């Protein structure tokens, strides 16, 4: 369907409505306007026009170097052919560095460029014939000195049959049939904190919630009733826990199944989240984590992450709390809302401890240091067990240990829940950021009524061995190191500088060696799909004897090789209920699993 004339008319109509709408809040003529055309999805090119009013002499525009992940990804490397004009005339344009352009001129300056994106996942942007997903910081320039001005965005040439979803206020219902969609934000930061999905997705509201929770799903192999039930439990528990509803509408954007291209994960935003999972089984953990970010990190915000500097790394020691303790709450939410049994909670906790203890780097890299080093995660070498320990894993375990210690010291009348609520009321709701680990410690001490100076010095700032057994016993839990068999491929995988995977460290006598695998083989396919980035995690989900199919390349061509996974013994940490737990420890264990304290009796959920 092509309605060029009507489209043009609709553009004026939309802009007119924008102008009227924004005039109330600010001076409409001052708003920076973007128009993004998604005319040719098959070319994966977003065509951008940016209009900057009220320029005197010249203006610098910049493309963020990072967003969504704590990694420098240089989005300017995707940008093609930047041009500028002032009124009718071409304006002189000078590139200043890898991501900045200086435009000379007066009045309203128009900048035009295209940018190529075809990467799946919540941390990227994609335009193809199936859908468009936009993390706007990867697509839109900003004016460094005018980031706090109101912005207007129009997406045009939306393919017939597609709709557009974003947490920003839009004009979808009235103008969607004209293939335009427009929305506005109070500033650039709010704009780029709202990803946009365009396509022919499913959309519904989560029943029984006020304020409203909207669910957008682009995917296959998912069941609506199941998804509703999972999200209902997660959102209900976390909203009750925090006693706070800081949104008018919250939007879940899901990509499920093939559309994810094998990439997975979730990205938090102030009024929405984007989640990609290859299968529905991974969805509850990610959704519980991202929804809790509504408070922890988006509103309970470390000072080190504000104001955002898009041009270079933003150093923070707080990710062990902002991310790791968010994972603590993901696991608390799963067990407390009934998505997990208590045994599943123990299994997960044991797995987290095993993951930590199996990494040599955990012995010298502290939780705070891991947070600072988040920016190194894009380097394959850094992800080796000898180089890094995850602030997610360590923070998640630290959260559990803190909860138990607070309960023990207060005779189970207070918990980590009170710490999160206190951070929310004392900082988030007052518009204040917290001073990283310092304010976390001070809040823990306020709630517990005693010093946590030693705990934070040894286990947060330094990398002293975590006293699992000692602290878990206070909650009637045993932790034991056991030997267990696990699936083994018979070789390790090396990732080369250009991203290719190859076989290394092949074990003589393994089934892989017997099947003809050789050191140095380039792995093209792994069970007919992509090579998993973390083979260790992949192997944990398999059993010895399962078949692994590889397609490899070596000097004499390509070949398929097939063999059963072997078995290797590994040390795993197992958490279980202690038969000899005393009365107080049993109360603390019950309080942790159900999310209750003595002072605040259980409410039926
Ligand atoms: Zn997170």
Per the model's pLDDT, the better-predicted residue between 24 and 518 turns out to be 518
* pLDDT for the residue 213: 98
Laid out side by side, the sheet with 151-156 consists of: 89-90, 79-86, 107-116, 45-55, 32-37, 151-156, 180-185, 169-170
Ion ligand 1 — residues with CB under 5 Å? 323
Q: Is 434 exposed, middle or buried (CB count within 10 Å of its CB: 0-12, 13-18, 19+)?
A: buried
Q: Which CATH class is domain 3-199?
A: mainly beta
3-state helix, strand, coil in the chain (%, to 5): 35, 30, 35
Ligand 1 centroid–CA 267 distance in Å is: 7
Quote the tokens at residue 367.
């939780």
Reference 452, options 398, 532, 489, 495; nearest CA is 398
Contact criterion met (CB below 8 Å) for 30 and 149: yes
Query: pLDDT digits over 297-338, tens only?
Result: 999 999 999 999 999 999 999 999 999 999 999 999 999 999
Query: pLDDT digits over 545-584, tens only?
Result: 999 999 999 988 999 999 999 998 888 999 999 999 999 9
Contact criterion met (CB below 8 Å) for 89 and 106: no
Half-sphere exposure of 221 (CA within 13 A, CB side): 12
Instruction: Report d(CA 268, CA 217) in Å as an integer.
Output: 16
Quote the tokens at residue 113.
């460029």
Ligand 1 centroid–CA 112 distance in Å is: 34
Contact criterion met (CB below 8 Å) for 362 and 356: yes
Contact criterion met (CB below 8 Å) for 33 and 50: yes
Ligand 1 centroid–CA 539 distance in Å is: 24
- 270 has a pLDDT exceeding 80: yes
* pLDDT for the residue 289: 98
Ligand 1 centroid–CA 120 distance in Å is: 18
pTM score: 0.87
* pLDDT for the residue 48: 98
Ligand 1 centroid–CA 298 distance in Å is: 10
Confidence of residue 180 (pLDDT cuts 50, 70, 90): low
Ligand 1 centroid–CA 230 distance in Å is: 19
* pLDDT for the residue 5: 33
Ligand 1 centroid–CA 335 distance in Å is: 19
* pLDDT for the residue 498: 67
Confidence of residue 537 (pLDDT cuts 50, 70, 90): confident
Ligand 1 centroid–CA 121 distance in Å is: 14
* pLDDT for the residue 389: 95
Ligand 1 centroid–CA 228 distance in Å is: 22
% of residues, the chain, pLDDT over 90: 77
Ligand 1 centroid–CA 88 distance in Å is: 46
Quote the tokens at residue 459.
């286990």
Ligand 1 centroid–CA 22 distance in Å is: 33
Instruction: Report d(CA 317, CA 394) in Å as an integer.
Output: 13
Ligand 1 centroid–CA 331 distance in Å is: 13
Ligand 1 centroid–CA 265 distance in Å is: 9
Ligand 1 centroid–CA 268 distance in Å is: 7
Query: pLDDT digits over 420-467, tens only?
Result: 999 999 999 999 999 999 999 999 999 999 999 999 999 999 999 999
Ligand 1 centroid–CA 326 distance in Å is: 7
Using DSSP's 3-state secondary structure scheme, residue 389 falls into: coil
Quote the tokens at residue 261.
């291209």
Q: How many CB atoms lie within 10 A of CB 223?
A: 10
Helices 326-336 + 283-292 axis angle, to 10: 120
- 2 has a pLDDT exceeding 70: no
- 591 has a pLDDT exceeding 60: yes
* HEC profile of 46-65: EEEEEEEEEECCEEEEECCC
* pLDDT for the residue 14: 43
Ligand 1 centroid–CA 551 distance in Å is: 34
Domain ranges (residues) in the chain: 3-199, 201-294, 313-476+579-605, 482-571
- 521 has a pLDDT exceeding 90: yes
Ligand 1 centroid–CA 69 distance in Å is: 10
Ligand 1 centroid–CA 83 distance in Å is: 37
* pLDDT for the residue 257: 87
Ligand 1 centroid–CA 289 distance in Å is: 6
Ligand 1 centroid–CA 62 distance in Å is: 27
Average pLDDT value for the chain:
90
Ligand 1 centroid–CA 588 distance in Å is: 27
Q: Which residues have CB under 8 Å from 183's CB, separation 6+?
A: 152, 153, 166, 168, 169, 170, 171
Ligand 1 centroid–CA 445 distance in Å is: 25
Ligand 1 centroid–CA 206 distance in Å is: 22
Confidence of residue 72 (pLDDT cuts 50, 70, 90): very high
Ligand 1 centroid–CA 568 distance in Å is: 32
Least reliable range by pLDDT among 208-217, 268-277, 290-299, 488-497: 488-497
Ligand 1 centroid–CA 360 distance in Å is: 24
Ligand 1 centroid–CA 271 distance in Å is: 15
Query: pLDDT digits over 331-378, tens only?
Result: 999 999 999 999 999 999 999 999 999 999 999 999 999 999 999 998
Quote the tokens at residue 581.
């737990």
Confidence of residue 11 (pLDDT cuts 50, 70, 90): very low
Q: In this structure, which topology does domain 201-294 adopt according to CATH? A: Zincin-like (3.30.2010)
Ligand 1 centroid–CA 302 distance in Å is: 14
% of residues, the chain, pLDDT over 70: 91
Ligand 1 centroid–CA 380 distance in Å is: 21
Ligand 1 centroid–CA 292 distance in Å is: 9
Q: Which CATH class is domain 313-476+579-605?
A: mainly alpha
Ligand 1 centroid–CA 119 distance in Å is: 20
Ligand 1 centroid–CA 526 distance in Å is: 28
Ligand 1 centroid–CA 296 distance in Å is: 9
Query: pLDDT digits over 78-133, tens only?
Result: 999 999 999 889 999 999 999 999 999 999 999 999 999 999 999 999 999 999 99
* pLDDT for the residue 230: 98
Q: Which CATH architecture has domain 482-571?
A: Roll (2.30)
- 25 has a pLDDT exceeding 60: no
Q: Would strands 557-564 and 547-554 be described as parallel, antiparallel, or unpaired?
A: antiparallel
Ligand 1 centroid–CA 451 distance in Å is: 28
* HEC profile of 550-604: EEEEECCEEEEEEEECEEEEEEEEEEEECCCCCHHHHHHHHHHHHCCCCCCCCCC
Ligand 1 centroid–CA 160 distance in Å is: 35
Ligand 1 centroid–CA 330 distance in Å is: 10
Reference 121, options 292, 274, 273; nearest CA is 274
Confidence of residue 384 (pLDDT cuts 50, 70, 90): confident
Ligand 1 centroid–CA 323 distance in Å is: 5
Mean pLDDT on 64-74 = 96
DSSP class of residue 142 equals B
Ligand 1 centroid–CA 325 distance in Å is: 9
In residues, how long is the chain? 605
* pLDDT for the residue 579: 95
């Amino acid at each position: 369907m092509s309605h060029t004339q009507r489209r043009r008319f609709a553009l004026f109509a939309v802009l007119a409505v924008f102008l009227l709408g924004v005039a109330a809040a600010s001076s409409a003529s001052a708003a920076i306007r973007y128009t993004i055309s998604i005319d040719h999805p098959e070319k994966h090119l977003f065509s951008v026009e940016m209009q900057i009013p009220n320029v005197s002499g010249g203006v610098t525009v910049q493309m963020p170097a990072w967003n969504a992940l704590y990694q420098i990804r240089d989005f300017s490397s995707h940008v093609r052919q930047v041009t500028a004009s002032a009124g009718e005339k071409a304006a002189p344009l000078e590139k200043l560095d890898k991501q900045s352009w200086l435009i000379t001129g007066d009045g309203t300056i128009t900048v035009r460029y295209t940018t190529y994106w075809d990467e799946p996942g919540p941390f990227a942007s994609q335009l193809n014939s199936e859908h468009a997903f936009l993390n706007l910081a990867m697509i839109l320039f900003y004016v460094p000195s005018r980031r706090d001005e109101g912005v207007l965005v129009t997406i045009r040439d939306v393919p017939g049959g597609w709709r557009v979803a974003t947490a920003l206020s839009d004009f979808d219902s009235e103008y969607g049939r004209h293939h335009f969609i427009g929305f506005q934000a109070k500033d650039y930061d709010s704009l780029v904190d709202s990803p946009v999905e365009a396509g022919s997705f499913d959309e519904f509201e989560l029943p029984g919630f006020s304020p409203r929770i909207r669910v957008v799903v682009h995917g296959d192999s998912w069941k609506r009733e199941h998804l509703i039930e999972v999200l209902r439990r997660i959102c209900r528990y976390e909203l009750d826990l925090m006693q706070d509803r800081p949104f008018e509408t919250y939007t879940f954007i899901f990509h499920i199944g093939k559309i994810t291209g094998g990439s997975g994960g979730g990205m938090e935003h102030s009024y929405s989240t984007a989640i990609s999972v290859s299968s529905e089984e991974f969805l509850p953990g990610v959704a519980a984590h991202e929804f809790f970010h509504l408070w922890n990190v988006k509103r309970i915000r470390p000072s080190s992450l504000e104001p955002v500097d898009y041009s270079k790394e933003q150093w923070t020691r707080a990710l062990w709390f902002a991310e790791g303790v968010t994972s603590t709450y993901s696991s608390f939410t799963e067990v407390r809302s009934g998505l997990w049994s208590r045994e599943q909670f123990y299994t997960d906790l044991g797995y987290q401890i095993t993951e930590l203890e199996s990494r040599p780097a955990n012995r010298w890299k502290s939780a705070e240091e891991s947070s600072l080093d988040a920016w190194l995660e894009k380097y394959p070498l850094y992800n080796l067990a000898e180089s890094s320990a995850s602030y997610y894993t360590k923070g998640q375990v630290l959260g559990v240990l803190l909860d138990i210690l607070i309960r023990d010291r207060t005779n189970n009348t207070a918990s980590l829940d009170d710490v999160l609520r206190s951070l929310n009321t004392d900082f988030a709701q007052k518009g204040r950021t917290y001073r990283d680990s310092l304010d976390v410690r001070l809040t823990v001490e306020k709630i517990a009524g005693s010093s946590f100076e030693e705990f934070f010095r040894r286990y947060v700032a330094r990398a002293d061995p975590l006293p699992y057994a000692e602290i878990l016993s206070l909650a009637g839990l045993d932790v034991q190191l056991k030997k267990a068999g696990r699936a083994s491929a018979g070789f390790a995988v090396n990732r080369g500088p250009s991203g290719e995977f190859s076989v290394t460290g092949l074990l003589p006598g393994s089934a892989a060696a017997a099947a003809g695998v050789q050191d140095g083989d380039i792995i093209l396919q792994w069970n007919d799909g992509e090579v998993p980035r973390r083979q260790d995690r992949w192997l944990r989900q398999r059993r010895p004897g399962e078949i692994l199919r590889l397609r490899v390349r070596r000097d004499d061509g390509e070949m398929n090789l097939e063999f059963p996974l072997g078995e290797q013994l590994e040390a795993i940490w197992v958490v279980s209920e202690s038969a000899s737990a005393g009365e107080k420890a049993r109360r603390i264990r019950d309080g942790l699993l159900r999310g209750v304290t003595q002072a605040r009796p259980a409410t039926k959920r």
